[in-house]
């Protein structure tokens, strides 16, 4: 059984972004048993590298989508992404340096990413992605004082 299960309530109304979230969840599900069983460092590192790649690609594409859709709070959202990436990068660096991974930090990452981020922050842009009437581009340009 997976540590985290994808559910329809996690959908953000974009097949591509939902697919990214599922890939990230798969990665976290792959990482969890490795940490639980104290697996060799190279195995953990391989999954962490994959996770880092997925996260980078996803954040970048999600930020583009938010801008394109006219989501006014994309800058604040990007800051959350940057902080999340720092956590992933720092965990990966710890492993590379031969430090033992703190499983609690991983759980915090999962919790933060899934509960707070996908179900909370990511879902805030859903109306802009799915309802063209809710995203007049001029409105977010004005609210940000610039166009990107």
Please identify, among the stretches 55-63, 99-107, 129-137, 139-147, the one whose residues bind Fe ion according to the rule CB under 5 A. Answer: 55-63
Distance CA 53, CA 134 (A): 32
Instruction: In whole angstroms, give the CA distance from residue 52 to residue 37.
Output: 22
Q: How far is the CB of 22 from Fe ion (least distance, A)?
A: 11
Instruction: Report if residue 65 touches Fe ion, rule: CB under 5 A.
Output: no
Distance, in Å, from the CA atom of 47 to the CA atom of 27, rounded to the nearest integer, reads 7
CB of 99 to Fe ion, least distance (A): 28
Write b or e for each residue in 79-90: b if 16 or more Cβ atoms lie within 10 A of its Cβ, otherwise e. Answer: ebbeebeebbee
Task: Write down the least CB distance from residue 59 to Fe ion, Å.
Answer: 7
> Do 98 and 41 contact (CB within 8 A), yes or no?
yes
The minimum distance between CB 112 and Fe ion, in angstroms, equals 11
Is residue 122 a contact residue for Fe ion (CB under 5 A)?
yes
Residue nearest to Fe ion (CB): 122
Give the interface segment with Fe ion, choosing from 34-42, 87-95, 106-114, 115-123 (CB under 5 A).
115-123
Torsion angle defined by CA atoms of residues 54, 56, 58 and 61, in that order, rounded to the nearest 10 degrees: -140
Q: Which is nearer to Fe ion, 25 or 62 (CB)?
A: 62
Stretch that binds Fe ion, among 30-38, 54-62, 97-105, 128-136 (CB under 5 A): 54-62
What does the alpha-carbon distance between residue 51 and residue 92 come to, in Å, rounded to a whole number? 9
Q: Which is nearer to Fe ion, 79 or 102 (CB)?
A: 79
Binding site for Fe ion (CB under 5 A): 62, 122
């Amino acid at each position: 059984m997976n540590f985290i299960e994808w559910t329809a309530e996690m959908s953000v109304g974009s097949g591509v972004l939902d697919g990214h979230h599922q890939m990230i969840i798969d990665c976290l599900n792959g990482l969890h048993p490795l940490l639980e069983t104290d697996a060799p460092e190279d195995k953990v590192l391989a999954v962490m590298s994959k996770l880092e790649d997925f996260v980078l690609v996803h954040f970048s594409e999600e930020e583009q989508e938010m801008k394109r859709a006219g989501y006014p709070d994309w800058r604040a959202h990007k800051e959350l992404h940057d902080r999340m990436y720092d956590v992933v990068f720092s965990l990966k660096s710890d492993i590379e340096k031969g430090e033992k991974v703190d499983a609690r930090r991983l759980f915090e990452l999962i919790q933060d990413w899934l509960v707070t981020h996908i179900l909370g922050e990511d879902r805030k842009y859903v109306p802009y992605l799915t309802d063209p009437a809710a995203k007049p581009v001029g409105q977010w340009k004005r609210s940000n004082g610039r166009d990107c």
